[in-house]
């Protein structure tokens, strides 16, 4: 079995891919992809898992979801306290998130953040943005980052209780990151 990527605690995977070799009990017979999807989803639901198999495909025996992945992408969602106008400059304020974590925004200049993201795009040595992976200490630290962009997005849907004045001062952003591969902890550190 192989999986195309891993997630850390508190991170949610969206459309992760994995491969597995299945042998049918009857010779010269293969499982139908729809049967695998339905069976796995039924078991996941019975066990109260929050994940779902969206699609199952037959692939050649040489296919490996991690090695043959065309790219990997990440989306980080940010809530930034704003001074109340529609500009990109935030002010010093503290905001509680729904997970009871508190974040401090210190005059975050969104336009400056956007300028900085452009510096990462392209082929660079990202050694300073990774940590030593105990499985492969000799890994090449030169990677090509295809995309790193910050976009303002609409507020997430929330319950009525969260629609307060403080909530209305938040601006929401998504940081999109895409590359063929990343170093261990590279995305988090960037």
Q: Is 8 a catalytic residue?
A: yes
Look up the domain containing 84 and give its range: 72-189
| pTM score of the predicted model | 0.68
Q: What is the DSSP string of 72-107?
A: EEEEEEEEEEB-SSSSSBB-SEEEE-TTS-EEEE-S
Residue 77 shares a structural domain with residue 43: no
Last residue of a domain, one of 21, 49, 69: 69
Q: Which helix (H) or strand (E) holds 115?
A: helix 110-120
pLDDT of residue 131: 80
Residue 95 shares a structural domain with residue 52: no
Residue 95 shares a structural domain with residue 181: yes
Res 126 pLDDT > 90: yes
What is the SS3 assignment for 64? coil
Residue 29 shares a structural domain with residue 110: no
Res 149 pLDDT > 60: yes
Catalytic hit among 8, 21, 85, 86: 8
Residue 104 shares a structural domain with residue 184: yes
Last residue of a domain, one of 69, 85, 117: 69
Of the given ranges (50-54, 91-95, 104-108, 156-160), which has the lowest mean pLDDT? 91-95
Last residue of a domain, one of 46, 69, 92: 69
Please check whether residue 107 is in contact with residue 89, taking contact to mean a CB–CB distance below 8 angstroms: yes
Q: What is the pLDDT of residues 38-78, one digit of tens each?
A: 999 999 999 998 888 999 999 998 998 888 888 888 888 88
> What is the CA angle 164-166-170, rounded to 5?
110
Residue 179 shares a structural domain with residue 140: yes
Question: What CATH number is attached to the domain comprising 180?
Answer: 3.30.70.660
């Amino acid at each position: 079995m192989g999986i195309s990527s891993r997630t850390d605690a508190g991170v949610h995977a969206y459309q992760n891919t994995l491969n597995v070799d299945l042998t049918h009990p009857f010779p010269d017979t293969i499982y139908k992809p729809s049967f695998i999807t339905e069976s796995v989803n039924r078991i996941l639901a019975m066990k109260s898992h929050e994940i779902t198999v969206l699609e199952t495909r037959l692939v050649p025996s040489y296919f490996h979801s991690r090695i043959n992945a065309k790219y990997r992408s990440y989306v980080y969602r940010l809530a930034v306290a704003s001074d109340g106008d529609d500009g990109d400059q935030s002010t010093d304020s503290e905001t509680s998130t729904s997970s009871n974590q508190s974040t401090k925004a210190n005059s975050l200049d969104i336009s400056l953040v956007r300028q900085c993201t452009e510096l990462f795009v392209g082929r660079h040595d990202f050694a300073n943005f990774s940590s030593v992976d105990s499985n492969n200490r000799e890994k090449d630290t030169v990677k090509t980052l295809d995309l790193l962009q910050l976009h303002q997005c609409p507020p997430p849907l929330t319950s009525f209780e969260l629609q307060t004045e403080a909530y209305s001062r938040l601006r929401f952003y998504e940081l999109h990151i895409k590359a063929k591969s990343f170093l261990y902890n590279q995305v988090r550190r960037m």
